[in-house]
Amino acid sequence: MEKILCFLNGYVEVLICGGQTERFFNLCIARGIVVRNLRQNKDKSFTCIFSVSHFFLLGPIRRKTKVRIHILEKQGLPFWVEKGVKRKAFFLGIFLCGMLLLMLSGRIWNIHIEGNRANSTPEILKFLEDQGVSHGMKKKSLNCSAIAASIREEYPQTAWVSARTEGTRLVITVKEGDFQNKKKKEKAEPCNLTATESGTVVKIITRAGVPRIRPGETCKTGDVLISGCLELKNDSQEVTRYEYVHADADIYIKRKLSYYAELPLEYEAEIRENIQETGGFLKIGKLYLEWGAEHKKGWHTLTEELPVKLTENFRLPVSTGRITMNRYQKKKIIRTEQEAKTEAFCILQDYEEKLMEKGVQISANNVKIDVDHRTCISRGNLEIIEKIGKETPVEILEQPKERTTENG
């Protein structure tokens, strides 16, 4: 606390020499003048510290004791203010900086969106911008309840939305609901399941509807596999009523999938050389400045752009980047028969993997790879097991007339 008061009042470090120095300090103590950090030097002079107010009381004592006082250092708030008066631009800069910070603290500089999966952050930011909510707007003009309500209205799949401010951030939390079941309910109109491919049925798992085909039987494209029309019969096995459901089933068929691919033995490829040039660019709005690399024929250009962001989603119209140019040369390459067969087999494997990613099972591979003097040819078929079934409208039949004792 004493150091703080000393700084606020200001203090002076002085060198005292000559005359009656001992008497000088005794008179200071007698008159209530506080002497701090008193030190004696080798030349029998003294160094000490006085507060500014006490320093101005030393005149009569100095004249009486004939000592000489030299000011070594001035410290404290009064001297700092005195220097600041001479440096008006410095203090003006501090004042303007403080005013700028005060002004910026009252605005939104970062809009953070969390919990969104179905709708991307840029999409929601674009919607908010259309609603007048953007980076740099005043916090006073924000209505968090209205923002949350507008998002719920625009994106019906959101189950819950909240908006809140944290300093200069607007945080929007989105909780999306599982609407798959609702979509299924919306699609609960009566329908059949028909074949999208021809083949032999190997498995049927029926959840709703009447199967019109059994495992082991052959179907053709367009055949009704599961009917959405239910026949309600009486004890005499006579149809008394038709009811209609949304047919739902997993139907798997086995079929042959033709495969044909050609791979030339001789081809032209671009080979990268160990020659590279680098450069950079600067974009400010529509202004574009580039340096370093020159675009040349036969060179491939790779551009990496780094936008300047003040916050998470607040981008300035300024970006920098790096340009990397690599030299390529076209060369003719001739594959050997073994290399061609190996590459053709790899292409076939990639094709099979893509089929399996779609849920297709491959039960047999009947593809042969042959090589002539120019081309490697892969031809044959794959025996696959896949899930089929397409929803089609069900035919609405006229309800049977009720039978009475009069009409038999």
pLDDT tens figures, 153-202: 888 888 889 999 888 889 999 988 655 444 444 557 899 999 999 999 99
216 located within any domain: yes
DSSP per-residue string spanning 345-389: HHHHHHHHHHHHHTT-EEEEEEEEEEE-SSEEEEEEEEEEEEEE-
290 located within any domain: yes
Same domain, 8 and 75: yes
50 located within any domain: yes
**Residue at a domain's end among 127, 160, 180:** 180
Same domain, 274 and 233: no
105 located within any domain: no
**Which pTM does this prediction carry?**
0.52
Same domain, 292 and 230: no
Same domain, 70 and 117: no
We report the CATH number of the domain holding residue 158 as: 3.10.20.310
Average pLDDT on 3-28 reads: 88
- Nearest CA among 280, 278, 327 for reference residue 299: 327
For 226-257, b where at least 16 C-beta lie within 10 A, e where not — what string? Answer: bbbbeeeeeeeeeeeebebbbbbbebbbbbeb
322 located within any domain: yes
The answer, yes or no, to whether residue 221 has pLDDT greater than 70, is yes
What is the distance of C-alpha 315 from the center of its chain?
14
The answer, yes or no, to whether residue 219 has pLDDT greater than 90, is yes
Q: How confident is the model at residue 27 (pLDDT cuts 50, 70, 90)?
A: very high
**Structural domains counted in the chain:** 4
Domain that holds residue 201: 189-254
pLDDT on residue 185: 47
401 located within any domain: no
The answer, yes or no, to whether residue 85 has pLDDT greater than 70, is no
356 located within any domain: no
Average pLDDT on 293-315 reads: 82
Same domain, 11 and 67: yes
**Residue at a domain's end among 180, 203, 234:** 180
**Residue at a domain's end among 286, 309, 334:** 334
70 located within any domain: yes
β-pairing, 375-388 vs 224-227, is unpaired
The answer, yes or no, to whether residue 408 has pLDDT greater than 60, is no
Computed over every residue of the chain, the mean pLDDT equals 87
